[in-house]
A and B are shown apart, each in its own frame.
Chain A
Amino acid sequence: MTAQIFLQIVASGLLMGLIYALIAVGLSLIFGLMDVVNFAHGEFMMLAMYAVFGAVVIIGIDPLMAMPLAVAALFVVGATAYLGVVQHAMRAKANIGMVQIFATFGLAVLIRGVSQFLFTSDYRNVPAERNLLGGKTIELGGVFLPLPQLVGAGISVLAFVGLWLLITRTDFGKALEATREDAGAVALVGIDKNRVFTLGWGLGASLVGLAGAILAIFYYIHPDVAAPFALIAYVTVALGGFGSVFGALVAGIMVGLAEALTATILPPALKSVGIYALYLGVLFIRPKGLFGSL
């Protein structure tokens, strides 16, 4: 393996890893807040991809401009999912863990079905002529950095910084922190738990919405598109530690790199085995993931 090829693998793994991290962080955030694994997370991402596609085709704007739109739309989707489904699942008196898994799993199947009904099963692509970044790439010393992924990775980093500021510097962040520490006690200091949860779901969905909007620039879109990404997101979250934002970032990058490296060493068809081995290896040493406390 030449140095150039090695650099290319690291660069590609890093760029993809940052996007994986952004897909995973919303899931981790929601889990940290209220101990719920959202099995419809991938479907949220798929909806964001359709939102971008729709904005590009109907309004005629560039996918980059459509990003805020997708993020806003997903905030509504996330908040609605909480108010319409998860809130009720939380009230269950028995088997609360299973109820949440299957309520969100049912929601996932429902979203896929509705998407197929509304958008049909056709494979969609953001039209190249309205896609400023699509297919563009820059070359640095023989290493190719595709612009969509590069910009996507940059946005991902910015999103993580923003999220960190939000959690540490704002009242909402403090309420979020307090609620995750002790959801019962916050009521005493006048924080509406339900409101925090609703906003938390909106935020989590927005983050995966942002990731979906980035993917829409260079990935195809159809109702079942999210399944492989969702699996990676679950592994990333467990690897980083449920509830840890920083863990999601580190784990995402590790997963991206592990995938790229495995595909070079083993037959590419087995590249996910590298991710799984990394994950199981870490879990063996740290049963709660790299940065997990829950």
Chain B
Amino acid sequence: MASQALSAPLAATTAAHDGRRRRELIAFAILLAAFAVLPHLVKDVYAQNVIVLTLMYAALSQSWNILGGYCGQISLGHALYFGTGAYATSLLYTKFGVIPWFGMIVGGVIAAAIALVLGYQLFRLAGHYFAIATIVIAEAGLLLVHNWDWAGAATGIQWPFVPDSWLTFQFGRDKLPYIYFALGLFAATWLVTFAIEGSRWGYWWRAVKDNADAAESLGVKIFKSKMAAAAVSAFFTAVGGAFYACFVQYIDPDSVMAFKFSLLMALPAVLGGIGTLWGPVVGAVILIPLMETTSSYLGGTGRGIDLIVYGLLVMVVALARPEGIVSLFSRRKAPKA
């Protein structure tokens, strides 16, 4: 019954669906091209730094969105994976001389493994219990790293000062390599999301959201697919963390594992449109530059003006556009589709 009801309209809209997916790919190509050109137009180092962060958070939020948006598992502990990537890369590089490119992959795999173990335990928790549990596990991780002497504990890890090189992925002043890496990471996460949307997983997840009966019949498959989604999400988040370590060249527990990172990964997706393909990047493009500039140009007053602006912004956007900013565009299209 349930599957019939679901598949009939699906077949009818397949053509329109394919057309829409093709248009999305084209829009994506244009976006990539725009971001690739942007740093050649904006030479200011500070602005380029903002571009790096925007792309990084777009990628992180896109990764978060796979689990938090599409699967509906609201994780507020992704800082754990971010930190795993940053620490794995930094430790391998500074202690064993392993180049960051390799460390990045190692960090990603470790994070994915952690996500599988945690997912197995946590997916049976309902809504808020899941969210709080992820916060607590990430906090526990932060505390442990804080007290892990071999990993530098509170002192953190200072990367050695070396000349610019692609091999060690370190550049003193040049922001272009970082912009392109962040752009590549964002592209990868976007394409993975795009592929998932068109796959059986995406279909199942949508079915579960729309139809409670479907959830029953798909139970086991859903659980497995969510586990896989958690692993993918954690992997890319860790690669993002590894990238951050290469970018800043100094990490300590609070600067890569604090709760605020977990929020900053979820926030763009929420603002842009949770569980949507374009939400995270739209959210990041609006949120990150605004946050950075308010804290840079209003933070100097020392009176909390930047916090007031940031808080108001988050509140107003959450209230004014609960479906996210991308809904502004899809609503116009709605009659057509």
A contact set with B: CB distance below 8 Å? 31, 37, 85, 88-89, 92-99, 101-103, 105-117, 120-121, 223, 231, 234-235, 237-238, 242, 267, 269-270, 272-273, 276-277, 279-280, 283-284, 287-289, 292, 294
Q: With A102-B270, A117-B304, A280-B136 given, can you name 18 additional A-B contacts, CB distance below 8 Å?
A: A85-B315, A89-B319, A95-B324, A97-B127, A99-B270, A102-B267, A106-B313, A108-B311, A111-B311, A113-B311, A114-B308, A117-B305, A269-B143, A272-B139, A272-B140, A280-B133, A280-B137, A283-B129
A95, A105, A289: which contacts B323 (Cβ < 8 A)? A95
Q: Is the CB of A110 within 8 A of B307?
A: yes
Q: A-B pairs with the 10 shortest C-beta distances?
A: A113-B307, A116-B304, A106-B315, A110-B311, A109-B311, A106-B314, A92-B322, A113-B308, A113-B304, A102-B318
| Total CB contacts across the A-B interface at under 8 A | 147
Q: In the complex, which residues of chain B have a beta carbon less than 8 angstroms from the beta carbon of A115?
A: 304
Q: In the complex, which residues of chain B have a beta carbon less than 8 angstroms from the beta carbon of A116?
A: 303-304, 307
Q: In the complex, which residues of chain A have a beta carbon less than 8 angstroms from the beta carbon of B304?
A: 112-117, 121, 223
Q: Is the CB of B128 within 8 A of A287?
A: no
Interface assignment of B310: CB less than 8 Å from any CB of chain A: yes
Q: Is the CB of A107 within 8 A of B311?
A: yes
Q: Per DSSP, are chain B's interface residues mostly helix, strand or loop, or mixed?
A: helix
* Closest beta carbon of chain B to A101's beta carbon, Å: 8
Q: Is the CB of B74 within 8 A of A105?
A: no
Which residues in window 278-337 of B have CB below 8 A to A? 302-316, 318-319, 322-324, 327
Q: Is the CB of B308 within 8 A of A102?
A: no
* Closest beta carbon of chain B to A244's beta carbon, Å: 13
Q: In the complex, which residues of chain B have a beta carbon less than 8 angstroms from the beta carbon of A237?
A: 132
Q: Is the CB of A107 within 8 A of B307?
A: no
* Closest beta carbon of chain B to A224's beta carbon, Å: 10
Task: Contacts A112-B307, A287-B126 given; indicate if A276 touches B140 (C-beta within 8 A).
Answer: yes
* Closest beta carbon of chain B to A290's beta carbon, Å: 12
Task: Contacts A113-B308, A272-B139, A287-B126 given; indicate if A85 touches B303 (C-beta within 8 A).
Answer: no
Interface assignment of B121: CB less than 8 Å from any CB of chain A: yes
* Closest beta carbon of chain A to B315's beta carbon, Å: 3
Q: Whole-angstrom distance between the alpha carbons of A114 and B311 in the complex?
A: 10
